[in-house]
A = this chain, B = another copy of it.
Amino acid sequence: MSDITKVALDAMGGDNAPVEVIKGAVDAVNLNKNIVVYLTGTKEAVDNELSKYSYPSDRIIPVYSTEIIETAEPPVMAIRKKKDSSIVRGLNLVKDGTTDAFVSAGSSGAVLVGGQLLIGRIKGVERPPLAPLIPTSKGVSLLVDCGANVDARPNHLVQFAQMGSVYMEYVLGIKNPKVGILNIGAEEDKGNALVKETFPLLKNTPGINFTGSVEARDVINGDTDVIVCEAFAGNVCLKMMEGVAKTLLKDVKGAMLSSLTGKIGAALVAPSLKKALKRYDASEYGGAPLLGLKGLVVKTHGNSKSREIMNSILQCVSFKEGRIADRIREQLEK
C-alpha cells in the first residue's frame, strides 16, 4: 500500500466554494506531506484561488471540469447528464483508481446517488448510509444513518450496525465498539415498528457488541460508540444537536457581553471555555463517510469552511489505512 493518500476534492461544492474549499485543500497538503489532492472544478475557479497560495505544486493537481451540479437539481438526472461536473469527475477518479477518496460539500443527493451509481456498493451492502462522527462528553460516537436512506428496513439497520462497528474499530481504534439503537425509551418493548423489528435482529447478529436502546437525551453522553437509526430520525438527531449547540453558545456569549462586569468576566473565562467547547464544534470532525461503497466518498456540511474541508481530507488517511471497504466486505461475508 502506498504511503500517499490521494483525495479528489469537489472545488465547486458547498456554500463557500471555491474559496473555502480550495483553502482547505492548501492547508491539508501543507499540514500532511503524504496527501495529494485532485481538485475538480472550473479552470477559472481553480486557477484563481490556487494562485493566492504557496503550496507544493506537485501535491495539488487541478482536474478541470466545465459543469456544476446545483443543490436543487434532481440527483439521478444530474449525475447522468452532467458528466463533466466536478462531482462526476471526482467520483470517477475514485472509480478508476486514480484517487483513494472523494470529498464534497456539494449536493448531498448527487453525492449519495453518484457514489452508488459510479463507484458502486460493496457486494452484499443494500443501502450505503451516511455516518458522521458526532461529539459527545466522552469523545465521539458514530451516527448511522443520518440522511441517506429514509424509510429503511430492519435488515438495513443491521448492516449499518456491522459497518459502523468496522469503522469505529479500524478508523477510530475502539476495540469491540458498543452498538445501540436510537429509541424513545430504554426498554426492549419501546419504539416504533421498525425499532421493534430490528431490536431482536441486532441481538442475534454475530460480530457486533449490541448493548440495547439509546434515548436521544443520552446520545451526547457518549456511552455508545455506534448509534444506528433510520435516516429521518438520525438527521433530526444530528441537526438538533447542531442547532441547539450553536444557539446556546451564541446565547451564552451574548449574555456575557451584555454588561461591563459580564465583559470582564467573559475575558477571564474565555480560555477554559473555548477549550471545553471545542469538542462540540462539528468542523473538527471532518465530513461523513458514505459507508459500504467500493471506494471512499465523504460528504461534508454544505456550509463548510476551510477547517472542515481540511479535516475531511485528513480523515481520508486513517480511512485508507483502516482498509474499511475490505473489512466491511469480510464482516458481511461472515
Point out the residue from B218, B235, B248, B270 that lies within 8 Å of A243, measured CB to CB: B218
* Inter-subunit contact A247/B184 (CB<8 Å): no
- Residue A262 CB within 8 A of the other chain: yes
Point out the residue from B137, B182, B269, B271 that lies within 8 Å of A251, measured CB to CB: B137
User: What are the residues of chain B within 8 A of A266 when measuring CB–CB?
Assistant: 265, 269
Point out the residue from B235, B241, B269 that lies within 8 Å of A269, measured CB to CB: B269
Oligomer copy total? 2
Q: Which residue of B lies closest to A146 (CB)?
A: B184
Q: Which residue of B lies closest to A258 (CB)?
A: B272
* Inter-subunit contact B272/A184 (CB<8 Å): no
What separation, in Å, do the CA atoms of A151 and B231 have in the docked complex?
A: 15
- Residue A192 CB within 8 A of the other chain: yes
Q: How would residues 142 to 155 of chain A score, 1 for a CB under 8 Å from any chain B CB and 0 otherwise?
A: 00000100110000
* Inter-subunit contact A245/B244 (CB<8 Å): yes
Which stretch in A21-29, A98-106, A204-212, A274-282 binds the other chain? A274-282
* Inter-subunit contact A265/B269 (CB<8 Å): yes
Point out the residue from B191, B231, B248, B261 that lies within 8 Å of A268, measured CB to CB: B261
What separation, in Å, do the CA atoms of A269 and B260 have in the docked complex?
A: 10
- Residue A140 CB within 8 A of the other chain: no
What separation, in Å, do the CA atoms of A251 and B278 have in the docked complex?
A: 11
Distance in Å from the Cβ of A215 to the closest Cβ of chain B? 6
Among A219-251, those with CB < 8 Å from B are 219-221, 230-233, 235-249, 251
Additional A-B contacts beyond A255-B276, A264-B268, A265-B265 (16; CB < 8 A): A150-B184, A150-B191, A150-B192, A150-B193, A151-B193, A184-B235, A184-B239, A192-B230, A215-B239, A216-B237, A216-B238, A217-B243, A220-B244, A232-B233, A240-B240, A256-B269
* Residues of A near any B CB (own CB < 8 A): 72, 137, 147, 150-151, 182, 184, 187, 191-193, 195, 215-221, 230-233, 235-249, 251-252, 254-256, 258-259, 261-262, 264-273, 275-277, 280
Q: Write 30 A-B pairs (CB below 8 A) sorted by A numbering.
A: A137-B251, A150-B192, A191-B232, A192-B230, A216-B239, A216-B240, A219-B240, A220-B244, A221-B243, A221-B247, A233-B236, A236-B236, A240-B244, A244-B245, A244-B248, A248-B248, A248-B249, A251-B276, A252-B273, A252-B277, A254-B276, A256-B269, A256-B272, A258-B276, A261-B269, A262-B272, A262-B273, A265-B265, A265-B267, A265-B268
